[in-house]
Chain A
Amino acid sequence: MMENNTFNPLLDKDIGMIENETTRKIALCALEAARESLSRNEKKPSDFVSNRLNSQLTKIVKGKA
């Protein structure tokens, strides 16, 4: 997991306050993937996020289906 940048504590706090656990986990997963894509200087960062979500969704949404 990438270390959270502390310039925006409000942002992480806001996401941490999402009540629904599944929604919160997906939002965090997307944000972490986005940070990683920027750090890696990915050419298509949103594709990177989508792929990461795709690999994590089954685990996160387990039991929902």
Chain B
Amino acid sequence: MRLHSLFMNNFRQYIGENTIDFAGNTTEPNVTLIWGPNGYGKTGVFRAIMFCLYGDLVLEQDGFPDSDSTAELILVNEKLLERNIGSRVTATVKLIFEHTGSIFELERNVSALMGADGEDPVQEPGRVILRETDLNGNAKSPLEEPDEIEERISRILNRRVRDFFLFDGERMEKLTRYGDDQRKEIQRGIKSLLQIDALEIAIQGLKKQERYLTQMIRATASGELELVSEKLQKVNDDIAILEEELNINIDEVQRMNHREREIDQILEKVKGLEVKQEIRKKLKEEIDQIKSDQEKNKQDLQGLLELGGTYIASPVVVELKTDLDGKISRGELPTDVRETFIDHLLYTGNCICERCLENGSPERDALVRYKQQKIQPGMEAAYQLASKLTALAANSGELSNKYDSEITRYQNLKQKEEESEKELEKLNEELKDLPEATQYGVELERIRSDRKEIEDKITEQKLLLENKKEERTALEEKENALSQKDEISKKYSAQREEVAKAFSALSQIQGRYEKNVIDELSEVATQIFKKLADGNTQKSLARINVKNGFKLDICNG
């Protein structure tokens, strides 16, 4: 189906005649985009198409319950109704479209009347007409019966699947949300599109008919045949229950297998990251060592700086020492007489030559005068400091080398620290979402134990089912033999036998067909979704699986 044009007259907010010519009748462009602010009639266009094709008076997003068959929205322009109180106003929608080479022109009217009493307008469906011109330009007789038109449109785009071809932005937004309702909606869509739902209903109908025929056989038969038929019915019911339980258990085991594979993959990933965890641990230790080395380097540098400070002050002290040396060479200072030595002589009162230095003696007075004149405060300390500086100056090259070495060490440690921190940060990021292996280990254990239990149950159920089926075969043979005796029962029996065969054939087709479709659908859905998804989703999306009765399941890698 390709839409050519849409004509609306007095429909919803479109007063007067309005026509939209859709793109695509020539080669380019082939898309028509309708956009605008809320309330400007985008949905009105969609509503007009749905009304024209199917006579819909409401849309899904109007929020009326499906069960409410009387729900309707006034489709005639309400301003016109208010201006024409007491007069009937008609709205018309005409859709021209192409399908398999034929051109269709579908026109549908609806009218409404607003009473003077101010009550809500009363709406009535109007005339509908479908004109068709075939590939060769031959016009067919127009259809004017609503039922005939509905059937014709239904053959072009079935009402059940139309929502997956004709929908507006609101429905698109709803379908793209990932929730259980959306999954069910998509499941329903897939089933409808592939007519799996029709196949399921056909199978259910056959089963129902088989039961009905069994009842008829029982009603027309008597005595032993009735008993056998009853038993057979019971066995059939038991088989149906058993098969259902068995399928549930098989599905459960499959689900567990799937989960087990998922967990195995997760644990494999964890294992792969163990090496990195070890590297991270070593890196942390290395960083601790670097920090400790940095502390030591800091202390060493402080020591060197203290020495360096003294060295910086050396020119002043050296000048002082030079002055002292001058005084010594001029005899203004003894080279080796110290204040403490003079104090010692004065204290003991004896000279080293054993001369007495008693108070008032000329020798003692001469010594006191010498001390006062020659030994000045600070001179001694300056002299000692200058001597040390002389030694230090001799070693200044070594100090400078040590200083350079510590600075280099500082730079190296700093660089090493930065590199290690960066590497650690990278590893932390990689290991950020590392799953807890223990937690999955426990789940895996539980799955394996539960699965064992279910598998045992499946074996038991299969055995029981086999026995029941054997019992059924025997009862069927007996029932057939007995019903041969009864003409009416014979007829029903023959029919039931054929219905059972058709049931079995359709069930087999369903199994085979679903399997093929599921594989193909998973593949195609994954490809399409990857095309539509953004960059991050494309990276994380592993596959879309179609399972559990055509629900889509998104698996991330």
Contact = CB atoms under 8 A, between A and B. Distances in A.
B498 A45 contact: no
A46 B494 contact: no
B502 A26 contact: yes
Given A15-B509, A18-B505, A49 B205 contact: yes
A65 B492 CA distance: 8
Interface in B189-235: 192-195, 197-209, 212
Nearest to B155: A3
Interface in B507-534: 509, 512-513, 516-517
B179 to A, nearest CB: 25
B249 interface: no
B159 interface: yes
A34 B155 contact: no
Interface string A29-65: 0110111011101000111111011100110110011
A15 to B, nearest CB: 6
Contact of B199 (A7, A11, A53, A58): A11
Contacts of B192: 38
Interface string B489-511: 01101110011011001100100
Contact of A11 (B161, B208, B505, B513): B513
- Among the interface residues B198, B491, B513, which one has the most CB atoms of the partner chain A within 10 A? B198
A38 B202 CA distance: 11
Contacts of B505: 18, 20, 23-24, 27
Contacts of B200: 34
B390 interface: no
Contacts of A41: 159
B495 A27 contact: no
Nearest to A27: B502
Main secondary structure of the interface of B (DSSP, over half): helix
Contacts of B195: 5, 7-8, 11, 35
Contact of A30 (B202, B493, B516): B202
A8 B506 CA distance: 15
B205 A46 contact: yes
A49 B512 contact: no
Interface residues of A, number: 40
B205 A30 contact: yes
Contact of A45 (B194, B201, B495, B513): B201
A62 to B, nearest CB: 10
Nearest to A60: B498
B160 A50 contact: no
Range, interface on chain B: 35 or more
B297 interface: no
Contacts, number: 125
Given A50-B212, A54-B212, A65-B491, A23 B204 contact: no
Given A26-B502, A27-B502, A46 B201 contact: yes
Interface in B142-159: 154-155, 158-159
A10 B513 CA distance: 8
B506 A49 contact: no
A50 B502 CA distance: 13
Contacts of B155: 2-3
Contact of B516 (A2, A10, A15, A45): A10
A48 to B, nearest CB: 7
Contacts of B204: 45-46, 49
A55 to B, nearest CB: 11
A27 B206 CA distance: 8
Contact of A39 (B158, B193, B203, B509): B158
A37 B201 contact: yes
B201 A14 contact: no
B202 A34 contact: yes
A24 to B, nearest CB: 8
Nearest to A64: B494
B190 to A, nearest CB: 10
A31 B494 contact: no
A46 B199 CA distance: 11
Contact of B501 (A14, A23, A33, A65): A23
Contact of A54 (B209, B502, B509): B209
Interface of A: 2-3, 5, 7-8, 10-11, 14-15, 18, 20, 22-24, 26-27, 30-31, 33-35, 37-39, 41, 45-50, 52-54, 57-58, 60-61, 64-65
Given A3-B155, A10-B516, A49-B205, 14 more contacts: A2-B155, A15-B506, A15-B509, A23-B502, A24-B505, A26-B206, A26-B502, A30-B206, A38-B192, A39-B154, A46-B201, A50-B209, A57-B209, A61-B494
Interface of B: 154-155, 158-161, 192-195, 197-209, 212, 490-491, 493-495, 498-499, 501-502, 505-506, 509, 512-513, 516-517
User: What 9 pairs between A and B have smallest CB-CB spacing?
Assistant: A49-B205, A26-B502, A34-B201, A46-B204, A30-B202, A34-B202, A50-B208, A65-B494, A3-B155
8 contacts: A23-B502, A24-B505, A34-B199, A38-B198, A45-B201, A49-B201, A50-B205, A57-B495
